[in-house]
A and B are shown apart, each in its own frame.
Chain A
Amino acid sequence: MIQIAEVSKSYNRKLVLDAVSMEVNKGHIFGLLGPNGAGKTTLIRILNQILYPDSGQIYFEGKLLEPVHLRQIGYLPEERGLYKTMTVRAHLLFLAQLRGLSKTEATKNVDHWLQHFDIQGWQHKRIAMLSKGMAQKVQFIAALVHQPKLLILDEPLSGFDPLNVELIMNEIKALKEQGTTIILSTHNMKSVDEVCDYAALLHNGKVLAQDAVQQLRRAHSKGLIEVRFKGNMLSFANALWTDFTLLSQKELEEGFFECTLQSRGGRKLNDLMRSLQEHVQVEHLSQMQPSMQEVFIDLISQKAAQNV
């Protein structure tokens, strides 16, 4: 859908993006991650042609990104605002038309989204009268009212209460199912775990890692295994022998335990299964994968250690 090739950008001789390359596939949700100041917002502005790169190219559906493509891109910036004196409806119509919709199309789409988010009753209210959460909803609608093929969301969940976070997350999933490609820049790692197919981690203007989310988590797995079993704890510990180290144990109910193990010498789950099956009744056995939060911290820590 979108390909970023060797994009660099400097502000006042400070390199903000350093030969960044990424590829976002059609219909995927792509997590753009990174600490503050990593260059995420600059990259997003370049994708929206608000800024232009010093070098490198952006391709949209295989063609060099041109202003005409912006009509197929929706953008919810992190720093977002609305005209306080306009009504909700007038504002959405205005932004939809700016994105290239005719008045008829804009009216139809605005009606649809107002109904979808159940805020028709607010359409004639001035923006100044809306609560922060309500204004955020209007901003979210404004980003997708023109039915973009690519939706770029920069911290879409900030400012929402938990109920509305759930609403927006469900909306993001629904948009993906309808075929919309989404770039999600967020510090909310739970949402990345929940919805992202692919992710890239930017740090100091460079891509530190990028891959499928599951692959990233697997790659940062520390060989931890979670086991739940019925039986005797002593028998379980003996069965581990020297191939696995018991890191933690918890008795969930009498004779039912949950333990965390560390594999040694490259032992696999099958080896563990074979060791345990004659001693305890295994109820659950899984390779523990780190959350994206842990992957994020791990990658940044590794980078910091390299720099020291």
Chain B
Amino acid sequence: MSNLFLLTKREIQERLSQRGFWYMLVLGPVVVLLLLIGLLKAADQGKQELNVLIADPGQIMSHRLMAQEEQQIHYFFIDDYLELSEFDKGKAYQEFDVLLELNEKVLNNKKCFVFFRDQLGLDARMQLKFQVERRMEELIAAQHSNLTEQAFRQIKQGFIFDFRDLKDPKNESKEANSWAGFILGAFVLFFVALYSMTIFRATVREKSNRIVEVLLASVKPGQLMLSKILGIGFIALLQMLGWILLLALGFWFLQETIFVDIFDPSNWGQDAPERLNPLSALVFEQLPFASLIVHFLLFFVASFLFYGALFAVLGARSSAEADGQQFLFPLLFLVSFGLFSGIYAIYFPASTLTEILGFLPFSSPVLVLIALAKGLGIAAYTKVLLSLIILLVCAFALLGLGAGWYRKSILKF
């Protein structure tokens, strides 16, 4: 059995035997899913029952609103102004959650105040606005024209100016796709950075407890370094795939059980609140999943070799785990650089700087995944291949140089 395999196997077994790994594997996705549930539940607040009192001294609305499919907001009318203190303290008004004040010239000045006892959710605000506004539009149409309400709404609708790149007239480079690619790229950088520090710590620990001299009598320093990168890299990949699998299972579970309505595209009609659209876009815009997954794995492996070699050498040159603190800032800087490069590339996809950033090992994983998420032609794909080759060449160059530095440093206690 080759020594590299034995060393790598030991690294993997050690990490799999640590409770921390399993806690992180499960807790990470659970925290993400809980946050998602929290966000969706918070957005769902509007579906609570509300009693709205409309103070309509001009009797403009004639005690009538548009018909509602679901009676979640109940409207009541009074034909006079109401003092706020009376609404607040008066026994007769305690059953109302909201006071909507329509002044007599509201059809001209188009301004009304909505006073609430407790904060209203986004959904409740939008429903309230939508229902009152439609009634107003009906009244304006009737008062000022012979138009039907539908015709009036058509006239009222503003023009949409859709700015599109001449080179991309069908707007295939969708922004939502770009963000999906960015998230995958960020995943790569996050896990690579996290586990690079693990390589650093493992190297220093091996050095400080002096096991390294026993090992070096059997294996070459380069093998020892590579085994650490491969073993910990495998664990990083395992954890990342575990996260992705658990998150996918979690999303499926949420879709099937708790948030059936939200995840059902048939519910996302024209009138659906716009805030749901980004999520729907991300899930349903038909990302090139196969290509993304293959390149995600390729760039993860290449990036891990690159950063792993760098941090193994730094570990070999350090004498205590605490030394790692000083490398935390540069590491965070490099990760941030990669992330900001990705954001820049989303907003300025055709700039020269984006082109350059796409070939730099620190930023190429994010930029390439963004480009792939948008879909690429064969000509553009050659740039992806070039990025991967540059990253791999840099990684192997660093591994080669690193093995020499590692050998020189590892026995300097």
Give the B-binding residues of A (Cβ under 8 A). Answer: 45, 48-51, 67, 70, 73, 75, 77, 79-86, 94-95, 97-99, 102-103, 139, 142
Interface residues on B, range: 20 to 34
Q: List 13 A-B contacts (CB under 8 A).
A: A45-B411, A50-B213, A70-B217, A70-B218, A75-B217, A77-B214, A77-B217, A79-B413, A81-B214, A94-B6, A95-B218, A97-B1, A98-B219
Q: Is the CB of B10 within 8 A of A94?
A: yes
Q: Is the CB of B3 within 8 A of A98?
A: yes
Q: Which of A70, A80, A86 contacts B214 (CB 8 A)?
A: A80
Given contact pairs A86-B10, A139-B214, a sample of 18 additional A-B residue pairs in the complex whose CB atoms are under 8 Å apart: A48-B217, A50-B213, A70-B217, A75-B217, A79-B413, A80-B210, A80-B211, A80-B213, A81-B211, A81-B212, A82-B209, A82-B211, A85-B18, A97-B1, A97-B6, A98-B3, A102-B1, A142-B214
B14 interface residue per 8 A CB criterion: yes
Which of chain B's residues have a CB closer than 8 A to the CB of A75? Answer: 214, 217
B17 interface residue per 8 A CB criterion: yes
B residues 179-226 near A (Cβ < 8 Å) are 209-220
In whole angstroms, how far apart are the Cα atoms of A56 and B6 in the complex?
33
Q: Binding site of A, secondary structure by majority: helix, strand, loop or mixed?
A: loop
In whole angstroms, how far apart are the Cα atoms of A263 and B387 in the complex?
86
Which of chain B's residues have a CB closer than 8 A to the CB of A102? Answer: 1
Mask for B145-174, Cβ within 8 A of A = 1, else 0?
A: 000000000000000000000000000000
Residue of A with least CB distance to B215: A98
In whole angstroms, how far apart are the Cα atoms of A70 and B219 in the complex?
9
Which of chain B's residues have a CB closer than 8 A to the CB of A50? Answer: 213, 216-217, 411
Which of chain A's residues have a CB closer than 8 A to the CB of B218? Answer: 70, 95, 98-99
In whole angstroms, how far apart are the Cα atoms of A45 and B216 in the complex?
9
Q: Which of B14, B210, B411 contacts A85 (CB 8 A)?
A: B14
Q: Is the CB of A73 within 8 A of B217?
A: yes
Give the A-binding residues of B (Cβ under 8 A). Answer: 1, 3, 6-7, 10, 14, 17-18, 209-220, 411, 413
Least Cβ–Cβ distance between B228 and chain A, in angstroms: 13
Least Cβ–Cβ distance between B249 and chain A, in angstroms: 31
Least Cβ–Cβ distance between B217 and chain A, in angstroms: 4
Which of chain B's residues have a CB closer than 8 A to the CB of A139? Answer: 214
Which of chain A's residues have a CB closer than 8 A to the CB of B213? Answer: 45, 50, 77, 79-81
Least Cβ–Cβ distance between A149 and chain B, in angstroms: 15
Q: Is the CB of B3 within 8 A of A85?
A: no
Residue of A with least CB distance to B207: A81
| Known A86-B14, A98-B6; contact A81-B210, beta-carbon cutoff 8 A | yes
In whole angstroms, how far apart are the Cα atoms of A94 and B14 in the complex?
12
Least Cβ–Cβ distance between B206 and chain A, in angstroms: 8
Least Cβ–Cβ distance between A127 and chain B, in angstroms: 10
Which of chain A's residues have a CB closer than 8 A to the CB of B209? Answer: 81-84
Which of chain A's residues have a CB closer than 8 A to the CB of B18? Answer: 85
In whole angstroms, how far apart are the Cα atoms of A255 and B214 in the complex?
59
Least Cβ–Cβ distance between B96 and chain A, in angstroms: 65
Which of chain A's residues have a CB closer than 8 A to the CB of B6? Answer: 94, 97-98
In whole angstroms, how far apart are the Cα atoms of A44 and B213 in the complex?
11
Least Cβ–Cβ distance between A270 and chain B, in angstroms: 52
Residue of A with least CB distance to B218: A98
Which of chain A's residues have a CB closer than 8 A to the CB of B217? Answer: 48-50, 70, 73, 75, 77
Residue of B with least CB distance to A139: B214
A-B pairs, 7 with minimum CB distance = A81-B210, A81-B209, A81-B211, A98-B218, A48-B217, A79-B210, A77-B213
Which of chain A's residues have a CB closer than 8 A to the CB of B14? Answer: 83, 85-86
Residue of B with least CB distance to A77: B213
In whole angstroms, how far apart are the Cα atoms of A81 and B218 in the complex?
15
Residue of B with least CB distance to A99: B218
Which of chain B's residues have a CB closer than 8 A to the CB of A103? Answer: 1
In whole angstroms, how far apart are the Cα atoms of A202 and B220 in the complex?
28
Which of chain A's residues have a CB closer than 8 A to the CB of B220? Answer: 67
Q: Is the CB of B214 within 8 A of A95?
A: yes
Which of A73, A75, A97, A98 has the largest number of chain B CB atoms within 10 A? A98
Which of chain A's residues have a CB closer than 8 A to the CB of B7? Answer: 98
Q: Which of A45, A51, A67, A83 contacts B211 (CB 8 A)?
A: A83
Residue of A with least CB distance to B1: A97
Residue of B with least CB distance to A85: B14
In whole angstroms, how far apart are the Cα atoms of A150 and B18 in the complex?
37
In whole angstroms, how far apart are the Cα atoms of A88 and B214 in the complex?
15
In whole angstroms, how far apart are the Cα atoms of A265 and B214 in the complex?
54
In whole angstroms, how far apart are the Cα atoms of A99 and B219 in the complex?
9
In whole angstroms, how far apart are the Cα atoms of A45 and B408 in the complex?
13
Which of chain B's residues have a CB closer than 8 A to the CB of A98? Answer: 3, 6-7, 215, 218-219
Residue of B with least CB distance to A106: B1
Which of chain B's residues have a CB closer than 8 A to the CB of A85? Answer: 14, 17-18
Least Cβ–Cβ distance between B354 and chain A, in angstroms: 46
In whole angstroms, how far apart are the Cα atoms of A67 and B221 in the complex?
13
Least Cβ–Cβ distance between B230 and chain A, in angstroms: 16
In whole angstroms, how far apart are the Cα atoms of A218 and B103 in the complex?
122
Least Cβ–Cβ distance between B16 and chain A, in angstroms: 11
Least Cβ–Cβ distance between A176 and chain B, in angstroms: 21
Least Cβ–Cβ distance between B211 and chain A, in angstroms: 4
Residue of B with least CB distance to A48: B217
In whole angstroms, how far apart are the Cα atoms of A73 and B210 in the complex?
19
Which of chain B's residues have a CB closer than 8 A to the CB of A45? Answer: 213, 411
Residue of B with least CB distance to A73: B217
Residue of A with least CB distance to B210: A81
Least Cβ–Cβ distance between A237 and chain B, in angstroms: 59
Residue of B with least CB distance to A79: B210
Least Cβ–Cβ distance between B212 and chain A, in angstroms: 8
In whole angstroms, how far apart are the Cα atoms of A102 and B1 in the complex?
7
Which of A67, A81, A85, A103 has the largest number of chain B CB atoms within 10 A? A81
Least Cβ–Cβ distance between A17 and chain B, in angstroms: 15
In whole angstroms, how far apart are the Cα atoms of A86 and B17 in the complex?
10
In whole angstroms, how far apart are the Cα atoms of A99 and B213 in the complex?
14
Least Cβ–Cβ distance between A142 and chain B, in angstroms: 7
Which of chain B's residues have a CB closer than 8 A to the CB of A86? Answer: 10, 14
Which of chain B's residues have a CB closer than 8 A to the CB of A77? Answer: 210, 213-214, 217
